[in-house]
Amino acid sequence: MTASGLKDAVAIVGIGQTAFARQLAEDEKTLACRAVLAALDDAGIAPGEVDALASYTMEETDEVELAKAVGFGDLTFFSRVGYGGGGSCATVAHLAAAIATGQATVGVAWRSRKRGSGPRPWTDTSARLPTPAQWTRPFGLLRPVDEIAMLARRYMHEYGVTRDHLFNVALACRNRANQNPAAVMYDRPLTREMYMTSRWISEPLCLYDNCLETDGALACVVVGRERARDCAEKPVYVHAAAQGLPAQHHGMVNYWNDDPLTGPAWTAARHLWKHADFTPREVDVAQIYDAFTALIPLSLEGYGFCGRGEGGAFTEQGGLEIGGRLPLNTGGGGLSEAYVHGFNLVNEGVKQLRGTSTAQVPGAETCLVTAGEGVPTSALLLRS
């Protein structure tokens, strides 16, 4: 590859998804097959041409099962990324690296998950012990929401961020979902009254600060830029890609370093912007991982849209709405479209740059997509 590395070397040329619901009848493998075939159909590429795969370590359907079911060709690259929702963008990044370096030519990334009707991972008391759970779970810090609420409380205390700021995040996502017929919360408007009087899950976070629990699957197709020009849909280029695991980081229980409130977003962001031809100011729309509302102001700071401690204020005056400073999670995000470990954010980024979102930002040419903040993460800068 040339000295320019990954910059615009590959494009996302196909996206596919199943329905999203609290409960779907089909199993995860079937849903994975449907999403992958939909993405290939969207791209106008036959399954037999696929030679690369990437998914999450938490994905239940393995490469062998998927490949033999949908009829892939010989695979020469397959990769899994760890840390749950931190891996979403990295699946595309790994395919980009493989294709840009000649290891493969047509890559598929996917995630299929029955988180709506399946078990909650935190109820498995054996899986998360002993490290670092020996330091947290005996004291009743049991769930991801508890771990993030601890950081959220400290963040609110240090910077004067309020529940109204977190509500602004929940509202922006819900408003976009209300425009998206595929979203779980399509016909369910949210009001400040509903938010402020909802039940607590882990104070200071309430029900509406938490993502949905969803069954569903998504996939996308990645090819080199030359091939992309011949595909059925307008290519969406991967302008920059990064993973992020900061020094002395501890995952969602990041309580043991000098500055627990700067997480993996900062690391991924430094790499992204170093390799990009544009700046945060020139990002037209963002799809930022929203398992919890509090991750949004932290990520806005991490990715450089505002300064340290300014993430709450950034959400004011409709900052995250269409027409605001940075339209956010335009399909509804994990909070209100579907929670499929952030893969819907990747596909929504593609829709924006094709001009086909249900909440289209007029003329959008650049989009940031991020994976989970608070765990080893990843991010993509997409451009049309």
Partner 1 sequence: MLSPVPDADGAPFWEYAARGELRVQRCADCGEPRFPPRPCCPHCQSFASAWRAVSGRGRVWSYVVPHPPLLPGYAELAPYNVVVVELEEAPRIRLVGNVVAHAGAPPDSVDPARLRIGAPVRAVFSGGLPQWVPA
Q: Kindly list the residues in this chain that would bind partner 1 in the complex (CB under 8 A).
A: 120, 123, 125, 129-143, 146, 149-151, 153-154, 157, 199-204, 248, 250, 253, 255-258
The answer to whether 162 and 312 are in contact (CB under 8 A) is yes
CA distance 137 to 176: 36
- Alpha carbon separation from 383 to 121, 179, 234, 241, 369 (Å, rounded): 35, 23, 11, 12, 11
The answer to whether 137 and 86 are in contact (CB under 8 A) is no
Where do we find the tokens 């849209």?
Answer: 305
**Active-site annotation holds for 255:** no
Nearest to partner 1 of 230, 259 (CB atom): 259
* Shortest spacing between CB 135 and partner 1, in angstroms: 6
* Shortest spacing between CB 67 and partner 1, in angstroms: 37
Nearest to partner 1 of 69, 141 (CB atom): 141
CA distance 272 to 254: 23
Which entry of 159, 195, 237, 289 is annotated as an active-site residue?
289
Nearest to partner 1 of 267, 366 (CB atom): 267
CA distance 25 to 31: 10
* Shortest spacing between CB 258 and partner 1, in angstroms: 6
Nearest to partner 1 of 27, 124 (CB atom): 124
Nearest to partner 1 of 157, 192 (CB atom): 157
Residue 366 exposure: Cα atoms within 13 Å on the Cβ side: 14
**Active-site annotation holds for 208:** no
Where do we find the tokens 């840390």?
Answer: 83
Tokens describing residue 266? 């900062």
Which entry of 56, 83, 159, 339 is annotated as an active-site residue?
339
* Shortest spacing between CB 368 and partner 1, in angstroms: 28
* Shortest spacing between CB 157 and partner 1, in angstroms: 5
Q: What is the 3-state secondary structure (H, E, C) of 211-253?
A: CCCCEEEEEEEEEEHHHHCCCCCCCEEEEEEEEECCCCCCCCC
Phi and psi at residue 334, to the nearest 5°: -70, -25
DSSP 337: T
Q: Provide the annotated active-site residues.
A: 289, 339
